[in-house]
């Protein structure tokens, strides 16, 4: 099975019409075992590249996941990053802002958790919530203390998109490579997954009344995502629309995109300086003495 990252990348600017994007596999899926074996090979290769990322200490990688409820963000993170050394990878989940976080600008709480060079940072939801859920529910802006003149207008979102683009361009210039995934789930598959969570006692904790209530805003969310993805997908920080109706296929796409991004960095192990070479030889001599 050939997965091409470019097939899922948003190239155009302007509003993205998500109803034109497939939520199921775009390429023929072989047996489930074949998919899982290919994913395992991706994870193994990714693990080696992550160690090289850490050793070379030149770049950081930020991976952002956004999606509707039950789209599979947690599962994608767990399965795709399963082989990565935990010391070189951190996952942050962003829910409703705390009282302290709401007293700052909308980028503040996530900026504090950006990965340092040599590491992979994963945002399970992110600052993009502030142009998605906040757009669907403008009352959130009031709770965050946003000035009245900036609340709920089209210029609010345009200015926030601009702030996000400037942030991501700044990060890219300073060595952070950003990959953004929107897991594209159909409304019917979401319904089935939520019912499964209700019917399975082991999954009850994953569903809340709020999840069901938010389904009533499905069209509004798709519209908000369409504006957001088109306004903030850049060559330096692209968005990928990942078909999420099939979890294994979605994980395969995610792993391929991350793998391609890591390979594009053309990393190499740092070459020891003459002083370091002398130090290594001195340590070797000390260890070989009887």
Taking only the tens place, the pLDDT of each residue in 130-148 is 999 999 998 888 887 777 6
Alpha-carbon separation of residue 121 from 134, 183, 232 (angstroms) = 24, 18, 19
Q: What is the pLDDT of residue 127?
A: 97
CB proximity list for 192: less than 8 A, separation 6 or greater: none
> Distance (Å, rounded) from C-alpha 50 to C-alpha 43?
10
Q: What is the pLDDT of residue 149?
A: 54
> Distance (Å, rounded) from C-alpha 226 to C-alpha 108?
24
**Is the confidence at residue 151, as pLDDT, over 70?**
no
Whether the Cβ atoms of residue 169 and residue 236 lie closer than 8 Å to each other: yes
Residue whose tokens read 């340092």: 116
Question: In this structure, which topology does domain 5-288 adopt according to CATH?
Answer: Rossmann fold (3.40.50)
Whether the Cβ atoms of residue 264 and residue 194 lie closer than 8 Å to each other: no
The string of pLDDT tens digits covering residues 182-239 is 999 999 999 999 999 999 999 999 999 999 999 999 999 999 999 999 999 999 999 9
Residue whose tokens read 């991350």: 258
Query: Beta-carbon neighbour count of residue 32 at 10 Å?
Result: 11
| pLDDT class of 152 with cuts at 50, 70, 90 | low
The two structure tokens encoding residue 162: 């601009």
pTM, full prediction: 0.93
Per-domain boundaries in the chain: 5-288
> Distance (Å, rounded) from C-alpha 145 to C-alpha 103?
7
């Amino acid at each position: 099975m050939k997965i091409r990252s470019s097939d899922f990348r948003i190239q155009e600017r302007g509003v993205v019409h998500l109803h034109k994007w497939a939520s199921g596999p775009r390429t023929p899926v072989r047996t489930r075992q074949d998919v899982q074996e290919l994913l395992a090979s991706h994870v193994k290769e990714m693990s080696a590249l992550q160690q090289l990322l850490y050793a070379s200490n030149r770049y950081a990688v930020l991976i952002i996941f956004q999606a509707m409820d039950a789209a599979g963000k947690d599962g994608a993170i767990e399965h795709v990053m399963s082989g990565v050394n935990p010391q070189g990878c951190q996952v942050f989940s962003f829910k409703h802002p705390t009282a302290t976080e709401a007293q700052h600008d909308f980028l503040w709480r996530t900026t504090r958790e950006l990965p340092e060079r040599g590491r992979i940072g994963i945002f399970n939801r992110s600052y993009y919530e502030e142009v998605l859920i906040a757009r669907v529910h403008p009352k959130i802006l009031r709770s965050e203390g946003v000035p009245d003149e900036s609340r709920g207008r089209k210029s609010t979102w345009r200015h926030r998109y601009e702030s996000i683009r400037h942030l991501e361009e700044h990060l890219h210039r300073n060595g952070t490579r950003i990959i953004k995934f929107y897991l594209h789930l159909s409304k019917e598959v979401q319904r089935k997954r939520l019912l499964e969570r209700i019917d399975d006692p082991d999954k009850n904790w994953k569903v809340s009344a709020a999840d069901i209530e938010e389904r009533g805003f499905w069209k509004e969310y798709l519209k908000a995502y369409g504006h957001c993805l088109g306004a903030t997908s850049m060559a330096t920080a692209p968005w990928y629309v990942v078909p999420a109706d099939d979890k294994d296929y979605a994980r395969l796409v995610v792993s391929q995109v991350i793998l391609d991004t890591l390979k594009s960095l053309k990393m190499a192990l740092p070459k020891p300086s003459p002083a370091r070479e002398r130090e290594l030889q001195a340590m070797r001599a000390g260890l070989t003495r009887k």
